[in-house]
Amino acid sequence: MSGATESGDTEAFAQLLRELKVRSGLSYGVLAKRLHMSTSTLHRYCNGTAVPVDYAPVERLARVCRATPQELVELHRRWILADAARSRKAAQAAAETAEAGAAERTVPADGPEAALSETDGVAENEVPAVVDLPAGPAPSRPRRRLRRRTALIASVAVVAALGSLVYVLRPTSERTADTSAPTSTRSADAGASGQPSSAPPTGRKTPGPSASASNTPTGKASSQAAGSGSGQSDSGQGASSSNDPVPLTVSTRPYVYDSPCSQHFLVDSEPSQVGPPAPSEQDAPRWAAAYGAVSSGEQEVALTVQGTGAETVVLEALHVRVLSKAAPLAWNDYSMGVGCGGGVDTKSFDIALDGGSPTVTVKGGQRDFPYKVSESDPEVFYVVAHTTAHDVRWDLTLDWSSGSRHGTVHVDNAGTPFRTSADVGRPGYDYPLGGGEWIKRES
């Protein structure tokens, strides 16, 4: 991608941020305080001189500015493209730095060659034919060995510099091939026979578990529980009717906050044994894993689907699979925030898990499938699953087609099912802003 295109992607992202900021009527200082970031950082995001590494602060900014569901989807798409442009620019700068370093370490022509030429044609134990020696002491053999050693060290430095340049350039090409989601998405390949291709999967900037190809007719995409502060890192697999790679990737955010207070978790521990709530959406997977928490009442999941090339991929349908149902968990309910106003409704699809055959239904005025995606035109889908009577384990499958090829991508939470349990009648606890302990919620 050209530098002009990269600059255009970053400017398009910054322009939408500025429009949201202006419409909110808030100053940079007030908005930065509400987002818990510095005013200078917010300035850099809005004028395009910096792109956030994670999507979470971008989404919080949009929600504070009361962005519409359509604006949230478009903002996420622009962030993906701007983040990819930033990654390519950083990799290019690293390559140029390594190349400059290699040039500085290049040994002059009169270095090793001159040192070696002094001993050319003279064997180790051979006495030179010249017998008229100078009055001064003859150069000792250690002197010649020192020169050889100097030449050898200089040569090794050149080889090491070239090796570092090759190492920098190789990840650059791999990262340029994938411009998908905040967190990093991997895509594994499988043919109609279920045999994996020999090409290894490539991933985005955040390290994550590599995906292995499935030996079944369906593929799999799972989100990694985030906790490193970089965006979420996801792996994907798929199957098609040919031996070509699966032409799309799926990135999953398992806990989406409609507002800072929208997420509740059930935890099998007393308040004194539970730490403060996860401060943001990006910290929720790590918090939930630490306490064995389960989404309480409902769970909102975001899927970012992106093509891996210029070809258009049609997303035919999204299905839910209920893997198990049990009695609701008799655990305590913990809220991730207190005193929050209503959030922006971003629900696009709804799943009633208590039904006999749950289906994915359109909500919030969004249109139903099919959708189209490509590398430069991703889509973000919000799926809300809820239950009032069961403890449910569930996952999703996404049907796709591209020309004569077709397949299914399996979506879950880092290789395990999503899990949502009813919270009716459970004791609830809140953590007041500025407080230091959980307070029981009044009925």
Where are the domains positioned within the chain? 1-107+151-176, 183-440
Distance between CA atoms of 398 and 417, rounded to whole angstroms? 15
Q: Pairing relation of β-strands 439-440 and 234-237?
A: unpaired
396-425: pLDDT as tens digits: 999 999 988 999 999 999 899 999 999 988
Distance between CA atoms of 43 and 61, rounded to whole angstroms? 12
Q: Which two tokens stand for residue 289?
A: 């894993």
Residue written as tokens 């998405």? Answer: 185
pLDDT at residue number 196 = 41
CB 353 within 8 A of CB 294: no
pLDDT at residue number 393 = 96
Q: Is the peptide bond before 200 cis (omega within 30 degrees of 0)?
A: no
Q: Is the confidence at residue 149, as pLDDT, over 60?
A: no
Distance between CA atoms of 436 and 291, rounded to whole angstroms? 18
pLDDT at residue number 316 = 94
DSSP string of 101-148, one letter each residue = HHHHTPPPTTSHHHHHHTTTT--TTPPPS-----SSPPPPHHHHHHHH
Taking residues 364-392, report their average pLDDT: 89
**Rounded to 5 degrees, what are φ and ψ at 261?**
-110, 5
Terminal CA-to-CA distance of the chain, rounded, Å?
57
306-355: pLDDT as tens digits: 999 888 999 999 999 999 999 999 999 999 876 554 444 455 899 999 98
Distance between CA atoms of 182 and 59, rounded to whole angstroms? 11
Residue written as tokens 């500085």? Answer: 104
Confidence of residue 3 (pLDDT cuts 50, 70, 90): low
**Which residues does residue 396 pair with via DSSP β-bridges, in sequence order?**
320, 411
> pTM of the predicted model, to two decimals?
0.52
